[in-house]
Structure 1
Amino acid sequence: MEITSSTVLLLVAGVLVHVLPTTCTAVRGFSLPLVANHGGGTYRVDADGFMIVNTTSFHHRPFLTAPLRYMYGVAVTIGTGHGKSTHFLVLDTANSLPWMRCAHCLPVQRQRSPVFDPSHSSSYRPLHPTNPLCRPPNRVHPAGDKCSFHLPREAHGFVGVDTIILGNPTLPIHGIAFGCAQATEGFDTKGTFAGTLGMGRLPTSLIMQIKDRVAWRFSYCLIGPGHSQDRHGFIRFGADIPEPPPLGHHRIKILPTPAHFPHGIVDSAYYVKLLGVSLNGSPIQGIHQTMFERRHDRSGGCFLDAGTETTRLVPAAYTLVEEAVAHMVQQWGYKRVRDRDFLLCFREEPGIWSRIPRLRLDYEGPPTRHGEPTRAHLEIGSRRLFVKVENKQLLCFGVYPTTSRHPTVIGAMQQVDTRFIFDLRANTITIHPESCEDDTEPAPSEW
């Protein structure tokens, strides 16, 4: 995940703490607070549930960088000899190394909690370079008598292990590996974040390090703007994951790394096969699955990532989607408006929200017991496709193009109010609509 001014995903995940050794029993299930922090107060939601953004705070964005700042993070409690403190890590389902800023990390940036100092934790120790985790395909490698990591445009430093406390009541799990950053390169704390929580598919991710304790499963349901200041959701593991409804859920197949690909860090993400895109149930002509396939050089492809702020489509597909959406709205007499911050906008006029189409993404599902192919569908309604730009009286499209070689990414804005259940043993992602606000609790006052 590239952390930009529009990446806002907070997830209160594990807790690295200074504790005395204890006997650790198997964990069947637990939940960790999932916190939303959408744009530092630049967002609000109207009475009809539509997101309103004020673009006067957008400055000096790179070309084609989405101005939307959806962020979710995990609040991790880290104990030291000076007492416990809560840290917030950006939730990242595309990378596979949990890391945080450690003592003397440069450049100096403000974050919500004190910077973690491993010298104050008696249970912390550096990861030995001979450890199996300190080798490819992970982004870690031996460096003398230590193990180092380097995440381009994000951070670099050394890898250590400590005890992580999970769930309530808390349970310590010893020897969890994470990166201790000595320098950050492009990572913006937003005055809050201490690092990222890698939940990808490689051995160094949090989920892969605890997979046998939680049956290889985790789940989240992202709340939208409007509740981020006073309530938090959950990332749930193992037996704490709610069962999907008997009807109305779909299973997306997680693609294996092709046999002819050498395994590498790009395999960290949850790649899926996107078959097509529809508007109001009608397929958009010209879009075909080959647009979203991974190439022999491992470029392209499509994956889901809660750490990317909004959906990004390869240019060929994006152009067709934008044209189809624009045509469908314009045929009702609404005029398109140019804007420097968004690629597709309309003047806000009476009745226009009822004319915004529903977008549907069609995926390959796992085969049936008889080997028959199946399909899964992610429905995206108008509240997750368009936003109101308050200072300009515009409605603007919240989907963006990527470059031709970069993958298509289904981002956080289009995942709101959908339950995602990742089953890494079955290689499936189960999805179904859900009011994610119903699975929240009031945020503690100390946050």
Structure 2
Amino acid sequence: MEITASTLLLLMASVLVHVLPTICATVGGFSLPLVANHGGGTYRVDNDGVVVVNTTNFHHRSSVTGPLEYMYGVAVGVGTGHGKGAYFLVLDTASSLTWMRCLHCLPEQSQYGSVFDPGHSGSYRPLQSTSPLCRPPNPVHPAGHKCSFHLPHGFVGVDTIILGNPTLPIHGIAFGCAQATEAFHTKGTFAGTLGMGRLPTSLIMQIKDCVAWRFSYCLIGQGHSQDRHGFIRFGADIPEPLPLGHHRIKILPTPPHLPHGVADSAYYVKLLGVSLNGSPIPGIHQNMFERRHDGSGGCFVDIGIQVTHLVWAAYTLVENAVAGVLQQWGYERVHDHNFRLCFRQKPAIWSRIPRLTLDFEGPTTRHGERTRAHLEIRSRGLFFNVDNEQLLCFGVYPTTMGHTTVIGAMQQVDTRFIFYLRANTITIHPESCEDDTVPTPSEW
């Protein structure tokens, strides 16, 4: 079989990941449909006071949850000898294994399209335990003659994919074929996860030479038209940023003091500070966001987490600063047992919400000068409506991951992110992301 990816079916490429360096005859580009799956839902509060979405909603991560369904799925087409099937995979920039639920996967859950059957593919084969991919730091391990992965549980296989050009198949792409997915909720739609992290088993690292080491996305948020979808773009399909108005964030290397065989899958960056309406918030220092000697702490960018989570010391200062601005305008803070910071919806309140800016370290210039990058988050990226739109509540949360800060999907909306892995940079610039959408096919 060949996994075909053309327009909306392009995404099986998202599902597969590679074994030996992929050789590309040409460097080009392609785009995969990126669908915003913003659901509503009810909420509850854990015993430790952390707000989590209840079990009727999709939990991609059990360790970090947020109050909203800011989930983005990539539309995938899988071609077999028995026809083509369409699938949706959750986009995750912090994990480095693409996987999907395969035949006989337990527990049984509904999803969009039928469960993938590797037996229908004449070119599918298990990844051997002797493969270079089946060793640290990759998230896969030898299991007899095969290569396995855990959480979810399954085995890794390889197959052929086609990315845009049907005359240039890419062979030997590896991906996980899951047999047990207890902690993964399909929400009636998702078939698995598209891993776009930094380790060799991720999709982008397997096809990096085919797409000039680059991928990009621009996220639409709640309130946008839900009958349109955007794209995750690769290589030459990525629009060039305007000469002015963009910033570059430096992707940090894995610290050398981590244990042997450990490397970062997530895109760690250096967060230097937080500003409100252009002024630094007093008391917030970059050492709050530094990596610790054991690898904990730090800050990374992740589309797979719904909202930004700040370490407690920084979060408290941000919450107080934001609340202070709105209270100065006469808006009364409302207690809500599900959310930490809420205000009653009143006229003009959206225009009074302050701008929050995250300041990052940029790459060093050729003259040795350090640069900075700024991610500005406006009102719709900071607050959301709850309680039938009678309340506005703050969409930034204190971390539940120890000392780690995560820049989540809600705060990335209407900003283009371009990951250039050869240069270890993320270019960001404001953009109306709905301008880069097309109508969603009715069959979805």
Identify whether the pair has TM-score above 0.5, normalized to the shorter chain: yes
* RMSD after superposition: 1.9
Alignment check: 8 A CA contact 1:218 1:423 kept: yes
Aligned to 2:97, the other structure's residue is in SS state coil
Match of 2:170 in 1: 173
Residue type matched to 1:135 in 2?
Answer: R
Aligned equivalents of 1:435, 1:12: Cα separation in 2: 24
1:330-374 Cα distance to aligned partner (Å, 9 max, x none): 111111111122110001112211211000000000011100111
Relative to structure 1, the CA distance from residue 265 to residue 83 in structure 2 (aligned partners, 3 Å threshold; closer, same or farther) is: farther
Q: Does 1:58 align with 2:73?
A: no
1:89-139 Cα distance to aligned partner (Å, 9 max, x none): 000000000000111111111101100011111111000000000000011
How far residue 164 of structure 1 moved from its aligned partner, in angstroms, is 1.9
Aligned equivalents of 2:202, 2:312: Cα separation in 1: 31
- Unpaired runs of 5+ residues, structure 2, are 1-9, 17-22, 53-65
Match of 2:409 among 400, 408, 412: 412
Match of 1:431 in 2: 428
Match of 2:378 in 1: 381
Residue type matched to 1:424 in 2?
Answer: L
Q: Does 1:76 align with 2:76?
A: yes
Alignment check: 8 A CA contact 1:250 1:377 kept: yes
Match of 1:370 in 2: 367
Relative to structure 1, the CA distance from residue 169 to residue 412 in structure 2 (aligned partners, 3 Å threshold; closer, same or farther) is: farther
Aligned to 1:383, the other structure's residue is in SS state helix
How many corresponding residue pairs? 414
Aligned equivalents of 1:60, 1:190: Cα separation in 2: 21
Aligned equivalents of 2:251, 2:25: Cα separation in 1: 30
How far residue 145 of structure 1 moved from its aligned partner, in angstroms, is 1.1
Match of 1:7 in 2: none
**Structure 1 runs of 4+ off > 6 angstroms?**
none
Match of 1:289 in 2: 286
Alignment check: 8 A CA contact 1:313 1:400 kept: yes
Residue type matched to 2:346 in 1?
Answer: E
Aligned equivalents of 2:391, 2:329: Cα separation in 1: 16
Alignment check: 8 A CA contact 1:315 1:404 kept: no
Aligned runs of 1:25-424 on 2, under 5 Å? 25-39=25-39, 42=40, 57-58=42-43, 63-65=50-52, 66-151=66-151, 155-167=152-164, 171-227=168-224, 229-262=226-259, 267-391=264-388, 393-403=390-400, 405-424=402-421
How far residue 75 of structure 1 moved from its aligned partner, in angstroms, is 1.0
Relative to structure 1, the CA distance from residue 229 to residue 277 in structure 2 (aligned partners, 3 Å threshold; closer, same or farther) is: same
How far residue 13 of structure 1 moved from its aligned partner, in angstroms, is 5.9
Aligned to 1:387, the other structure's residue is in SS state strand
Aligned to 1:131, the other structure's residue is in SS state coil
Alignment check: 8 A CA contact 2:415 2:432 kept: yes
- Unpaired runs of 5+ residues, structure 1, are 1-10, 18-22, 43-54
Aligned equivalents of 2:168, 2:88: Cα separation in 1: 19
Q: Percent identity?
A: 78
Relative to structure 1, the CA distance from residue 170 to residue 356 in structure 2 (aligned partners, 3 Å threshold; closer, same or farther) is: farther
Aligned to 1:240, the other structure's residue is in SS state coil
How far residue 169 of structure 1 moved from its aligned partner, in angstroms, is 6.4
Aligned to 1:14, the other structure's residue is in SS state helix
Aligned to 1:268, the other structure's residue is in SS state coil
How far residue 267 of structure 1 moved from its aligned partner, in angstroms, is 0.5
Residue type matched to 1:294 in 2?
Answer: R
How far residue 391 of structure 1 moved from its aligned partner, in angstroms, is 2.2
Aligned equivalents of 1:317, 1:118: Cα separation in 2: 48
Aligned to 1:219, the other structure's residue is in SS state strand
Alignment check: 8 A CA contact 2:301 2:406 kept: yes
